[in-house]
């Protein structure tokens, strides 16, 4: 007895078989169907972002340019110069030189602070491992993706640049967008 697929049968649309009538249908009927399909694509309109004027919105967890953070109440830097981010970085693009906080100059909340904190964004692969490695949430990935520059040296971001409040250049994707 032949196999009965029952109610689960999926209707298969097969190509027309060879033969004069079928062939002419294939030549003209299917061509007309194709023309209809392409015209329907036109009717759907464009999906293009007019980039420099209209920016692609990013998701909240998008990994763009890094940001360094301060404590909001005290204004002290969160980074304690532990270099875990530099150790975690697969591209080896983070350079941290730590220094001791003293009584007179207190930069961070911990014992030490990052005297030099540089990220070479021309090497960075935006994997987010630095963010994951940081025990104090001092470094996070931001949303900025417009990072081109004319000089490679301009892409080495220093601590001041990473701490500064970044320009909100890229829109965040709204829910459901």
Partner 1 sequence: MTTVAEVGYYEAWWIQLLKALVIFIAVFQLVPVVLLAERKVLGRFQHRYGPNRTGPYGALQPLADIGKLLFKQQFRPRGAVGWMFALAPAISMFTAVATMALIPFSDTVNIFGTEVGLYGIDPSIGILYAFAFGGLAFYGLVLGGWSSGSKYSFLGSMRAAAQLISYEIAQGLALVGVVMMAGTLSLTELVAAQSGPGNVWFIIPQFVGFIIFLVAGFAETNRPPFDLPEADAELVQGYSTEYGGGRFAAYYAAEYLNIIVVSAFVATLFLGGWNLPFVAPPEWTHPLIVLGKTIAILFLFLWVRATLPRLRYDQLMSLGWKVFLPLATVNALVTAILVVVL
Binding site for partner 1 (CB under 8 A): 23, 27-28, 31, 34-35, 37-39, 41-42, 44-48, 50
Shortest spacing between CB 23 and partner 1, in angstroms: 8
Shortest spacing between CB 18 and partner 1, in angstroms: 13
Q: In terms of CB distance, is 50 or 151 closer to partner 1? A: 50
Shortest spacing between CB 32 and partner 1, in angstroms: 10
- The label of the residue with tokens 């970085």 reads 89
Q: In terms of CB distance, is 16 or 90 closer to partner 1? A: 16
Q: Taking CA 28 as the corner, what is the angle to CA 22 and CA 32, rounded to the nearest 5 degrees?
A: 130
Q: Rounded to whole angstroms, how far apart are CA atoms 116 and 126?
A: 20
Q: In terms of CB distance, is 2 or 32 closer to partner 1? A: 32
Q: Rounded to whole angstroms, how far apart are CA atoms 117 and 99?
A: 11
């Amino acid at each position: 007895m032949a196999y009965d697929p029952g109610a689960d049968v999926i209707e298969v649309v097969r190509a027309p078989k060879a033969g004069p009538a079928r062939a002419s249908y294939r030549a003209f009927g299917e061509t007309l169907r194709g023309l209809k399909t392409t015209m329907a694509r036109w009717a759907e309109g464009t999906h293009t972002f007019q980039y420099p004027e209209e920016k692609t919105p990013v998701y909240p967890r998008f990994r763009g340019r890094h940001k360094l953070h301060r404590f909001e109440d005290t204004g002290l830097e969160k980074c304690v110069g532990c270099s875990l981010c530099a150790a975690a970085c697969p591209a080896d693009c983070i350079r941290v030189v730590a220094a001791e906080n003293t009584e007179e100059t207190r930069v961070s909340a911990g014992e030490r602070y990052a005297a030099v904190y540089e990220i070479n964004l021309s090497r960075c692969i935006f994997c987010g491992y630095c963010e994951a490695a940081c025990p104090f949430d001092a470094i996070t990935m931001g949303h900025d993706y417009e990072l081109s520059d004319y000089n490679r040296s301009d892409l080495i971001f220093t601590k001041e640049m990473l701490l500064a409040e970044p320009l909100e250049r890229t829109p965040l994707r709204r829910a459901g967008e």
